[in-house]
Structure 1
Amino acid sequence: MTKVDESENNGIAKKTSGEQPYKLSYSVGVAENKNSKFRKTMEDVHTYVENFASRLDWGYFGVFDGHAGNQASKWCGSHLHSLLQKKIMENERRDVREVLDESFTYADEHINSSLGGNSGCTAAVGILRWEVPDSVPSELIELDQHKRMLYTANVGDTRIVLCRNGHSVRLTYDHKASDTLEMQRVEAAGGLIMRSRVNGMLAVTRSLGDKFFDSLVVGNPFTTSVEITTTDQFLIIACDGLWDVVEDQEACDMIKKIGDANEAAKTLVRMALEKGTTDNVTVMVVVFDSNP
């Protein structure tokens, strides 16, 4: 069995300070491994924020898989959640998917214009929050009228999978050069797909950064929104170090009987290593309380 080395941590966990007189409706677990057999450096970064945007029981979850250096992934791990919070607070009624698209695009432009080097990163982000229908007057809102909504965005092949009623539901889209639609977009922009890579070099067609590829590799994310109900058990956010060797349903089956989020994340990292992944591995598991 491969031993998981958890001594190296590039994650940024933003937690609220002080004691909480309540129990969050979710728990977060993270595990990562540099995979030193194949990789000399760790370029993954993760971030999660409890009570995101200073709102009770909201959550922010992000995994960023860097390449050509870790400047882009570190910037996203340190700053993307603050950028999203600011934009959401400017207008809480605005569709969060629009905010995610705008923020990812800004991050892409900022990394390309302000950071040294040519690094880039794939990204998968989830925002969990409580909402009430617009049709309900605020003075008439009852607790059971609140909906728990999850908004997601991704570029590249970092993936978010929801386990619903024991079945995997992929909430992201793998932006790879082998994908027909992405291949057509890159070629229409003047690029070439060779050996399933953009201009023969980059396997992903969307990322944050990668200024060397200019308009061929873009930062516009795939976004989704879904209501989280009692049929939803947990969420897996992981880089391709997991998904290259583990199928969505296989991952859900492996941890569906593990109630502890940290242990679930560690289990998936071990699984990826045992199956021979050659990449850095980062796995974040968000377990939902069935009775929030």
Structure 2
Amino acid sequence: MTRGGQRKQESYDEVVAGHDPESYKLSYTVGVAENQNSKFRKTMEDVHTYVENFASRLDWGYFGVFDGHAGNQASKWCGSHLHTVLEKKLLGDESEDVREVLNDSFIYADQHVNSDLGGNSGCTAAVGILRWEVPDSVPSEQIELEQHQRMLYTANVGDTRIVLCRNGHSVRLTYDHKASDILEMQRVEAAGGLIMRSRVNGMLAVTRSLGDKFFDSLVVGNPFTTSVEITTTDQFLIIACDGLWDVIEDQEACDSIKDIDDANEAAKKLVRLALEKGTTDNVTVMVIIFENNS
């Protein structure tokens, strides 16, 4: 995983021009499954979105899961609009670090939900952007298809989580922003809030989200961000709300689907497992399987 350094981005579409048509096949497949869990929940407040060939760039991908609370206004807005905000910012300045673009976009979404939407809803969020890049060390006039690196950038607020399965082992790419976390507890208290019963002011279990204007500066929209190069050792990515992670550990989730080749079937299996293990929340699971043999 990398945290620094800039990479120059080149148009993947231009580089693959003239290659065999098979080169145009997506290097990943996406599967999604969800369940309201009506035994415990009267409404479904989760929303998910994915965009193939994101930002009109060949083989890029955008993936997002949003877990709403106090209504679904925030999660629905993010599901419908956050990828558009990100695309505009990415294409506006392609030299900017994608993690900074994610941070700026999350802050924009937080402010928009708080100022322009009715109610006091909020949502946790986990977003991934998959794209091809070329290292700065490669001269533009010498770029070849095999010199592109597949990079994954992630951002999250709250406890919606992204887990990468690398060489059979789980690698968590997100940070659970919970009121039980000592660092988040200190941040909230420094901002004038109280943590009671592992909740912000005794009410909200997460310390970062998009929306939740009732909590003002205590619950913020600044995400945890990462970047990682996706290689042939990476099998798949799981993005899911806490309806899954409350009852299934990261490694257990990876082990449960490691032999499933169909992304939709993998997502369905994880949702079934969460329900069987007694989750009391809405459940949404997105699985992205990397095609590493192309």
**TM-score bucket of the superposed structures, by smaller chain:** over 0.9
The residue number in structure 1 matching 2:87 is 85
SS in 2 for 1:184: helix
The residue number in structure 2 matching 1:154 is 156
State TM-score, norm by structure 2: 0.92
| CA displacement at 1:144 relative to structure 2 | 1.2
The residue number in structure 1 matching 2:36 is 34
SS in 2 for 1:48: strand
The residue number in structure 2 matching 1:245 is 247
| Pair 1:74-2:65 in alignment | no
The residue number in structure 1 matching 2:105 is 103
The residue number in structure 2 matching 1:279 is 281
1:101 maps to amino acid: N
Q: Any idea what the Cα deviations from partners look like across 1:140-198, whole Å, max 9, x if unmatched?
A: 10111100000000000000000000000000000000000000000000000000000
**CA distance, structure 2, for counterparts of residue 88 and residue 135 of structure 1:** 22
| CA displacement at 1:23 relative to structure 2 | 1.5
**CA distance, structure 2, for counterparts of residue 289 and residue 229 of structure 1:** 10
The residue number in structure 1 matching 2:260 is 258
| CA displacement at 1:71 relative to structure 2 | 0.1
| Pair 1:218-2:209 in alignment | no
The residue number in structure 2 matching 1:47 is 49
| CA displacement at 1:242 relative to structure 2 | 0.1
The residue number in structure 2 matching 1:136 is 138
2:197 maps to amino acid: R
SS in 1 for 2:267: helix
| CA displacement at 1:93 relative to structure 2 | 2.0
User: How large is the Cα RMSD of the aligned pairs?
Assistant: 0.9
Q: Percent identity?
A: 88
Q: Any idea what the Cα deviations from partners look like across 1:50-94, whole Å, max 9, x if unmatched?
A: 000000000000000000000000000000000000000012221
Unaligned ranges ≥5, structure 2: 1-20
2:76 maps to amino acid: K
1:176 corresponds, among 172, 175, 178, to 178
**CA distance, structure 2, for counterparts of residue 201 and residue 269 of structure 1:** 27
Counterparts of 1:10-25 in structure 2, within 5 Å, are: 22-25=24-27
**CA distance, structure 2, for counterparts of residue 184 and residue 243 of structure 1:** 24
State TM-score, norm by structure 1: 0.92
The residue number in structure 2 matching 1:198 is 200
The residue number in structure 2 matching 1:290 is 292
SS in 2 for 1:270: helix
The residue number in structure 2 matching 1:209 is 211
SS in 2 for 1:279: coil
Segments of 4+ moved more than 2 angstroms: none
SS in 1 for 2:175: coil
SS in 1 for 2:103: helix
SS in 2 for 1:264: helix
SS in 1 for 2:264: helix
SS in 2 for 1:265: helix
**CA distance, structure 2, for counterparts of residue 237 and residue 280 of structure 1:** 14
Unaligned ranges ≥5, structure 1: 1-19
SS in 2 for 1:269: helix
**CA distance, structure 1, for counterparts of residue 210 and residue 222 of structure 2:** 9
The residue number in structure 2 matching 1:12 is none
**CA distance, structure 2, for counterparts of residue 190 and residue 92 of structure 1:** 38
**CA distance, structure 1, for counterparts of residue 155 and residue 287 of structure 2:** 16
The residue number in structure 2 matching 1:13 is none
